[in-house]
Amino acid sequence: MKQGKCPKCGSTNVYVAADLPLKSGPFGSNSIPVSLTAMAALDNYVCADCGLVESYIADEYMLKKIAGKWKPVNTAADDD
């Protein structure tokens, strides 16, 4: 989706507002909790044909924080 193609319908009619002021939304609604005290704002990619929304965290500091605090989905012992 970041490359401008919708993974759902194949459209290239994809839009992003990464530099939107106040992009974290009213009361942080367009953000996710990272820890007790930290929220990460989301960049949303929207397909104007089918309406699919994909969200990304752009803040590298928050990505590092998540990698340090959250549980990894893939662990060495798991096979799926």
CB contact at 8 A, 34 and 65? yes
DSSP string, 12-79: --EEE-TT-TTTT-GGGTTEEE-SSS-EEEEEEEEETTT--EEEEE--HHHHHHHHHHSPPS--TT--
CB contact at 8 A, 41 and 27? no
The smaller minimum CB distance to Zn ion, of residues 9 and 20, is found at 9
Is residue 62 involved in binding Zn ion (CB under 5 A)? Answer: no
Is residue 47 involved in binding Zn ion (CB under 5 A)? Answer: yes
Window of 9-17, 24-32, 38-46, 61-69 that interacts with Zn ion by CB under 5 A: 9-17
Window of 10-18, 19-27, 54-62, 67-75 that interacts with Zn ion by CB under 5 A: 10-18
Is residue 53 involved in binding Zn ion (CB under 5 A)? Answer: no
Positions that interact with Zn ion (CB under 5 A): 6, 8-9, 11, 47, 49-50, 52
